[in-house]
Amino acid sequence: MKPEISITIPIYNEEGGIKKTVNNLVKVFEEKKANYELVLVNHGSWDNTEKIIKEMGEKNKKLTIINLAKNLGYGGGILYGMEHSKGEFIGWTCADEEISAEDVWKIYAAIKNKKYDVVKALRTKRKDGLLRIFTTFVFNNLISFRFGFNLKDINGYPVFFKKDMLEKIKPTEKSHLFNLDLMKNMNKNNMKILEIPVIHRKRQEGTTFMKLPRIFEMAFDFFKYSI
């Protein structure tokens, strides 16, 4: 039977936390008696991630395990997983537990009502530092001004929509501009988007790549994208 929901989790060197993230999602979706699929896309990791998710996949057939030698970038990993998803609804969350499994379920429960084409998270009570909070505020406002989006958190996840829409809205951007490119394509197709507040939590394991040089790189790429 085809899953109702396929959730892609892009993974890059997450040996310390991926097992907990997956187990928490499995626990919540099993309790809700959902017909689900978790698509674990390990791309380019050099730690023990591959071994860990392979063992998990052997124990739970609702996990689809994908191991790739090359890192595909933030958006590339998500897109690869969604293209290989079997569910009626597809989308993604991240491996870092910054969004709880309960909030992932909350976003999915909303898309099942079918009143909206897309349901995504609006992260509140951010726990990733003043610099990141400030740059996110500036980024969201620049996007709203440049593209006319009525969204408060472009990069908020999870994001869910029907798989049959993927070909129409597939982004060409595979890096940190993936979310912007996706939302822009959704806007072009007049898709109704609902943002639901979720509690943002501090990353428990692994390392964030959002340092000052990375922020400048993102700003430059956004400038080029916007021209």
What's residue 37's pLDDT?
98
Question: From the centroid of its chain, how far is CA 222?
Answer: 19
Q: Chunked in runs of 10, what are the mean pLDDT values of the chain (227 residues)?
A: 95 96 98 97 97 97 97 96 98 94 97 91 77 66 72 93 96 90 94 95 62 62 65
Q: Which CATH class, in words, describes the domain spanning 5-226?
A: alpha beta
What's residue 201's pLDDT?
82
Q: Which residues contact 35 (CB under 8 A, 6 or more apart)?
A: 1, 3, 4, 5
What's residue 146's pLDDT?
73
- Gap between the Cα atoms of 120 and 122, Å rounded: 7
pTM of the model: 0.88
Q: Where are the domains of the chain?
A: 5-226
